[in-house]
A and B are shown apart, each in its own frame.
Chain A
């Protein structure tokens, strides 16, 4: 396959070399390292020799099992109930801790459970924290990708006008992107603080005291949502600029033609602007998705994965294990799993947004 890329293009390759070389050294090589290390028991610090362990790291991370239990019954055969009236079941630790009848469940923990009739099926995972990390990350991506993309487009449309002082608004919307994410996370920790935080004070003031202050980052049900809101706000300016560049490639003559034809604002957007933004939309969507999967700094600064694992994420787990717990092989296995997930989703997105001819 002789193409323009390979034939008499020495200067092109020479120009690409510095960037390309750095990518090979710092991205591509480490990835192959991670792939190889994920099949070993490599530690960050250890005098023991590294050994090949096969897929043990993956089994440890991804192992799941189920067990269906009947409720406890008293001597008369009636179902025992907990204080809140729900049926009481035997403790899972009786089955998952050194029970010779259930060797496949040894060391597993409850992930979630569902009931059918009186019996209840418990889904167990060997590594519940990692499972929760996957679920949280997916939720994060599913919420952030459409919301941040749409919000950024809205802002881009707003500032794509010839008005006095419009550059001021562009600068303001873009500002959070320029500030380090660590600083932004620290500031939002203060905003969300249960101890006289700005958000609680504002809501209390606006509702004339009706609002009960919430411990935003300290409550499992609100922690992830708080981080999602803050993350959308932080990076929305970046995608706004990409949308803006897309908007400015659309020829003004198309808009003139549309207005001569008497198109409404919505029709102009639907039939002129949106088709013109097609490639930009694909780019924005893929970039947001990838960035969202890499969620780390906000978690590290604001919650460290807590409370009760409600904000664990895949990358945070990879770092926490690889460096915090010195388990380089486990961290590598998580990275490889993340790579597979992101690759799959990118391919699906490519397929769905392909040019139909």
Chain B
């Protein structure tokens, strides 16, 4: 009996010893299935990390972006979350609040130089960090500005709301364009709050009152929001912009086909425009009175709540934050690198590079979407309100309805933990 115990104890010790020698496996989920360039970069980072130390071995599983969030929710309900999660910036508070994620144990010095939009804070703690950010600009051509006799706006002196509308008037009056302005109404979903809520914020409103996150009353239906709504409706009612039934193909190609004078579009579409027109300009957002604003935060990395090895997960994330990898992602799929030093290493975002302006835009104008677990619902409510207003709904009623729906949702969720 005694010998049995000693023997089994020895066997156990040998077993433990051997696993301690090998690397502990960390699982990671990523949203970019189907994009070969993206997969190559992330696989390279993982291979480098696994070879660089002997404690951890990261294994990746990729999902198509459209199914990614559902997969995470299903896995969380089933208790099957991986160690390292990839999360869309504005969704992170929802997952952190729901207990899917744990704070990311990362030294503050590591991310000190990162663009603000890449850092995912919830409840005062860092939960996620992005290797890149995304930005939106008013895309046009120098020749268009010249032909219409318009001043070229700069970061220091962006167009005012009146100047912007005067520019649209000039473009419309010229008769050279099908529409003066392409807002991108064909891109339903997250594009609406990401791209259009900055207009609302520039007017002085917001999706929800960010001081308390307890109500949208006043923020989304106050005077500023009403002014925004009237302006927004006017874009479509007065024929400046194509409405919600815009053809997705027209959205993708309308600007380079010369059908639109100005296009509100992201850095991911910038290369296409630059390759077509050498004089393509990426102008800062107009200032409607409360400062020029664009959206921020893209996909980020974090640690799942059920991970037994947050230190290992954090070690991998810190490893991935090296400038060379930020630059690799930027060169590969056109994203804005998270640090200025990485930007300097890229083809497009280096100072003087063709898309460097996006880095400056993000640094100067970016504002993250409301940092609240309720954002997931608020984004959908906001999208519907904007679509309805564009289609001619009464502005006050549409915004009131949105406020009521958001407030009901906040109440039903016990204030979302704010």
Contact = CB atoms under 8 A, between A and B. Distances in A.
Interface of A: 41, 43-48, 60, 91-93, 96-97, 107, 109-110, 128, 193-195, 215, 217-218, 220, 304, 306-309, 320, 323-327
Contact of B245 (A93, A215, A323, A327): A215
Interface string B365-381: 00000000000110011
B397 A46 contact: no
Contact of B94 (A45, A60, A220, A309): A45
Contacts of B100: 45
B397 A306 contact: no
Interface in B398-418: 400-401, 404, 408-409, 412-414, 417
Nearest to B95: A45
A46 B98 contact: yes
A218 B412 contact: no
Given A44-B73, A45-B98, A195-B247, A109 B376 contact: no
Contacts of B417: 47
Main secondary structure of the interface of A (DSSP, over half): loop
B338 interface: no
Nearest to B414: A48
A217 B98 contact: no
A60 B409 CA distance: 12
A44 B74 CA distance: 10
Among B100, B401, B408, B412, the most chain A Cβ lie within 10 Å of the Cβ of B412
Q: Most A CB atoms within 10 A — which of B245, B249, B417?
A: B245
Contacts of B80: none
A45 B414 contact: no
Interface string B303-347: 000000000000000000000000000000000000000000000
Contact of A308 (B94, B250, B388, B400): B388
B383 to A, nearest CB: 9
A218 B245 CA distance: 5
Contacts of B247: 193-195
Contacts of B397: 92-93, 109-110
B393 interface: yes
B243 A109 contact: no
Contacts of B258: none
Given A308-B392, A326-B376, A195 B244 contact: no
10 contacts: A46-B413, A47-B97, A47-B98, A91-B396, A128-B401, A193-B247, A215-B245, A218-B244, A325-B380, A326-B377
Contacts of B99: 47
B250 A195 contact: yes
> In which size bucket is the chain B interface?
35 or more
A109 B95 CA distance: 33
Contacts of B414: 48
B393 A195 contact: no
Contacts, number: 77
A195 B246 contact: yes
B393 A308 contact: yes
Nearest to B407: A107
Given A46-B98, A195-B250, A307 B244 contact: yes
Contacts of A97: 400
Interface of B: 70, 73, 76, 94-95, 97-100, 188, 243-247, 249-250, 376-377, 380-381, 387-388, 391-393, 396-397, 400-401, 404, 408-409, 412-414, 417
Nearest to A193: B247
A307 B380 CA distance: 15
A220 B391 CA distance: 9
B47 to A, nearest CB: 34
Given A45-B73, A93-B396, A326-B376, A217 B409 contact: no
A309 B385 CA distance: 11
A93 B400 contact: yes
Contacts of A217: 245
Given A45-B94, A307-B387, A325-B409, A218 B243 contact: yes
Given A47-B97, A48-B414, A218-B243, A308 B377 contact: no
A194 B179 CA distance: 14
A167 B112 CA distance: 72
Contacts of A107: 404, 408
Given A48-B413, A308-B392, 18 more contacts: A43-B412, A45-B94, A46-B98, A47-B97, A47-B99, A47-B417, A60-B408, A107-B404, A109-B397, A109-B400, A193-B247, A217-B245, A304-B188, A307-B244, A307-B245, A307-B391, A308-B388, A308-B393
Contacts of B76: 45
- Please give me the 3 A-B residue pairs with the lowest Cβ-Cβ distance, nearest first: A218-B245, A195-B247, A307-B391
Nearest to A218: B245
A326 B99 CA distance: 15
B360 to A, nearest CB: 35
Nearest to B390: A307
B380 A324 contact: yes
Contacts of B391: 218, 220, 306-308
Nearest to B387: A306
A304 B187 CA distance: 12
A324 B188 CA distance: 13
Contact of B388 (A48, A60, A306): A306
B409 A194 contact: no
A18 B359 CA distance: 59
A175 B193 CA distance: 40
Q: Which of B76, B94, B381, B400 neighbours the largest number of chain A CB atoms within 10 Å of its CB? A: B400
A326 to B, nearest CB: 6
B56 to A, nearest CB: 29
A329 to B, nearest CB: 9
A194 B387 CA distance: 17
Contacts of B401: 109, 128
Nearest to B189: A304
B350 to A, nearest CB: 38
A337 B352 CA distance: 61
Given A215-B245, A218-B245, A220-B391, A325 B250 contact: no
Nearest to B247: A195
Given A304-B188, A324-B380, A194 B94 contact: no
B245 A41 contact: no
Contacts of A60: 408
A218 B242 CA distance: 11
A309 B376 CA distance: 21
Given A91-B396, A97-B400, A194 B388 contact: no
A60 to B, nearest CB: 8
A309 B100 CA distance: 34
A242 to B, nearest CB: 35
A215 B250 CA distance: 15
B359 to A, nearest CB: 34
